[in-house]
Amino acid sequence: MIKINLTPFEELDNPRWWVPDVVIIAIVVFLTFGGAYFYISTVEAELVAKEMEKANMTAETAALQTEVAKFNDLNQKIATLDTRKTALKRITESKLMRYLPVILMENIQNLKPEKVWLTGLAFVDKKKDENSSAPPPVPVQIEGSAPAPTDGSAPPPGQSGPGTDLTATRGDVEFPVSIEISGMAVDNISIAEFMLSLKATQNQAFEKSDLRTQLFFSDVSIAFSAISTEKSEDKDVDYLSFKLILSFKEKLEVQPEGKFSQFIDEFRKTGQARVN
């Protein structure tokens, strides 16, 4: 029998012919895993850098928020100082503002009926008192005027009388404080008369020479009215104790309109006038 060896000549010549192939495969595997490890390490390093950058930006944002809060506080303080500066300027330049408390107390005293006497008067800041529960306002109708609607709508046309509220047509200046009046009275009629007299100041004529006419009470409401008994040796006396809350405004002079008023003003200024 004849035996034929079909083994390639290279294998017969070099029994370790497979070693180069294994080395190449090993190098390829090493380079692949090495490249993957390098890429993963680079990505992780970038993630750490981004996290550090994020932490720095968060810290800077927190610091900036503190600075912004300080800046806002500074702006509020500046606004408060400007308000005080304006108020001081008005007080020093305006004669009305200089004698405001005296004028208000004089008006209240002059309008007080004989059967009413006062026990206390205080100025209350509206901003500090706005969170407290305010009493429901009691509408005060001036004699001769149409009844004010209770739903807040405008009064019907043609019902404006001598007591019509003229404050809507003027740019009056409202003060940021209100007045609380405590007192006693003989009966409720005297209290109502006192409230009507205070409310009627909004319709008094404006006079430059009289500072009392440049202030009026825009809101008059009663907080409470209770019967109290005072014991004496002869007999017990009943009277009413009450508390009123007043808002007041500065009345601005209304410029006259119409041809006749213009004629009068021109005549006063130049001594001669003409109506077209």
pLDDT of residue 118: 92
Distance CA 119, CA 242 (A): 10
Residue 275 lies in a domain: no
Residue 184 lies in a domain: yes
Tally the domains of the chain. Answer: 1
Residue 47 lies in a domain: no
Task: Tell me the residue range of the domain where 125 lies.
Answer: 99-135+168-270
Distance CA 118, CA 109 (A): 9
pLDDT of residue 271: 61
Instruction: Report the C-alpha dihedral over residues 257, 262, 266, 269, rounded to 10 degrees.
Output: -20
Residue 14 lies in a domain: no
Residue 264 lies in a domain: yes
Residue with tokens 């019907």: 156
Residue 120 lies in a domain: yes
Query: Residue 96 in 3-state DSSP?
Result: helix
pLDDT, tens digit, 9 for 90 and up, residues 8-44: 666 666 777 778 888 899 999 999 999 999 999 999 9
Residue 36 lies in a domain: no
Q: 159 is written with which tokens?
A: 């019902």
Cβ of 242: how many Cβ atoms within 10 Å?
22
Is the distance from CB of 141 to CB of 228 less than 8 angstroms? no
pLDDT of residue 236: 75
Distance CA 216, CA 202 (A): 5
pLDDT of residue 140: 47
Q: Tell me which residues of the chain have a pLDDT lower than 50.
A: 133-164
Residue 50 lies in a domain: no
pLDDT of residue 142: 44
Ramachandran area for residue 144 (φ above 0: left; ψ -120 to 50: alpha; else beta): left
